[in-house]
A and B are shown apart, each in its own frame.
Chain A
């Protein structure tokens, strides 16, 4: 359910309206479900509406965790092959 995609705000184009961009594909969407939308925000877009925001710090934390997990896995592989 609920196909939604993170997209960057390139313009706050009106009341409760923003223009989002994903790799050059742009669309006007409604931001009525969020407050204080600003250019540069990454919004989660579902059926033409922004339903939430991506928190860049939390995203970094998840990616850092995945990288660490990958390092541990590499060590485990190395250990197993000895």
Chain B
């Protein structure tokens, strides 16, 4: 594209704010897109400056598509921000379907008055996250809403990828006798976010574990193409995924409390607030289910990967017409791990 004639004032990323013109389709919006989004995400698709991106689908295989909206508050937290979170979230959704993520679309709803410095920080974080994950952000959209009608910024990302032939992962594939594995420490993200919440604040060095897991899933599927199910335990925690799998597959699940990897600080924070780590969100972990004969090998592959160093076998699926998720406590007694009623809240009792 040829640059417009004459001088146009560069965007003031230090002190400027989002205003309604940035969403109105005119020159201001074009400038924001070019100077911020295109400049940061920088790839051949965006440089074409069309409304959509077109690309060839690799032959064979199966396309996978996933989408996620991100409304996290606060926008910046230890270990990450809404930007990298939005990239990781959708990359992970594609990866959990057994797909290799390729392209992302990113839509922004910006609140009038939102500092451009923060927007730049978020966008650059997205660019970095995309680069590390090996995906391109190829198209997107920007809208601006009036002050008070948004929470700073909402981001929706949609991803497409390709699933190689022979891979068939689904929450409905779990068989009795299958082993259940988790890729690492549970509860980091939720505790990191909660520590910043007003009226709950406590000091901790816990950081969000937000990460792109497609490298890990690729290694896992290469070693064990017959993995039955994959899912990342985000909202609702491990407990939500276990109950989803149990219900989808019509099986029961028994977890071993002693095998669950949880950082001592996360445990302590949960004790303080009366929370159960099983229900706390994770953004850089996955749960895998495979045949018992594959479990040790899969565990080895996970532990060899930087994002799976603390991986563990945590339980197994059983025959159970009620589809209960149970846990053997460290005492040898049993308890249920039930579906949560809404968001888990701290308690005083």
Q: Do chains A and B touch in the complex (CB under 8 A)?
A: yes
Taking beta carbons and an 8 Å cutoff, which residues of A are in contact with B?
1-3, 5, 7, 22-27, 45-47
Residues from 260 to 274 in B contacting A, C-beta threshold 8 Å: 264-265, 267-269, 271-272, 274
Known contacts A2-B349, A3-B349: A24-B274 contact under CB 8 Å: no
Q: How far is the CB of B160 from the nearest CB of chain A, in Å?
A: 41
B267 — which chain A residues lie within 8 A by C-beta?
23
In Å, the complex CA distance between A72 and B220 comes to 49
Q: List 5 A-B contacts (CB under 8 A).
A: A2-B349, A5-B272, A23-B268, A25-B202, A25-B272
Cβ A25 vs Cβ B265 within 8 A: yes
Tell me if B349 and A23 are in contact (CB < 8 A): no
B347 touching A3, Cβ below 8 Å: yes
Chain B residue, CB-CB nearest to A26: B203
- Which residues on the A side are within 8 Å of B271 (C-beta)? 5, 22
Task: Give the chain A neighbours of B274 by CB distance below 8 A.
Answer: 3
A43 to B66, CA, bound (A): 49
B348 to chain A, nearest CB (A): 5
Q: List 14 extra interface pairs beyond A23-B265, A24-B205, A25-B272, CB under 8 A.
A: A2-B348, A2-B349, A3-B347, A3-B348, A5-B271, A22-B268, A22-B272, A24-B265, A25-B202, A25-B269, A26-B203, A26-B204, A27-B201, A47-B348
**A7 CA / B264 CA spacing, docked (Å):** 14
By CB atoms of chain A within 10 A, which of B201, B272, B349 has the most? B272
Report whether A27 and B348 are in contact in the complex, using a CB–CB cutoff of 8 Å: no
- A3-B345 Cα distance, complex, nearest whole Å: 14
Give the shortest distance, in Å, between B346 (CB) and chain A (any CB): 9
Q: Cβ of B349 and Cβ of A25 under 8 Å apart?
A: no
Q: Which residues of B contact A3 (CB under 8 A)?
A: 274, 347-349
Would you give the shortest CB distance from A33 to chain B, in whole angstroms? 16
- Minimum Cβ distance to chain A for residue B219 (Å): 32
A residues within 8 A CB of B201?
Answer: 27
In the complex, chain B residues whose CB is within 8 Å of the CB of A5: 271-272
Closest to B205 in A: A24
Q: Which residue of A lies closest to B202 (CB)?
A: A27
How far is B202's CA from A24's CA once the two chains are assembled, in angstroms? 10
Contact with A along B175-218 (1 / 0, CB 8 A): 00000000000000000000000000111110000000000000
Q: Is B348 in contact with A46, judged by CB distance below 8 angstroms?
A: yes
Q: How far is the CA of A45 from the CA of B269 in the complex (A)?
A: 13
* Distance between Cα atoms of A7 and B271 in the complex (Å): 11
Distance (whole angstroms) from the CB of B268 to the closest CB of chain A: 4
A1 to B, closest residue via Cβ: B349
- Say whether A24 contacts B348, CB under 8 Å: no
Q: How far is the CA of A82 from the CA of B267 in the complex (A)?
A: 42
Within the complex, the shortest CB–CB distance from A5 to chain B, in Å, comes to 5
Is A24 in contact with B268, judged by CB distance below 8 angstroms?
A: yes
Q: How far is the CA of A22 from the CA of B268 in the complex (A)?
A: 6
How far apart are the CA atoms of A57 and B81 in the complex, in Å?
Answer: 47
Shortest Cβ-Cβ A-B pairs, 6 listed:
A23-B268, A22-B268, A26-B203, A27-B202, A25-B268, A23-B264
CB-CB under 8 A from A2, the residues of chain B are 348-349
Most buried by B among A2, A24, A25: A25
In the complex, chain A residues whose CB is within 8 Å of the CB of B205: 24
Q: For chain B, residues 325 to 349, give those with C-beta under 8 angstroms from any C-beta of chain A.
A: 347-349
Which B residues lie within 8 Å of A1 (CB)? 349
Q: Mark B241-272, 1 if CB is under 8 A from A, else 0.
A: 00000000000000000000000110111011
Q: How near does chain B come to A7, taking the closest CB pair, in angstroms? A: 8
Chain A residue contacts of B265, Cβ below 8 A? 23-25
CA distance A45 to B268 in the complex (A): 13
In the complex, what residues of B have CB within 8 A of residue A47's CB?
348
Tell me the bound Cα distance from A12 to B205 in angstroms: 21
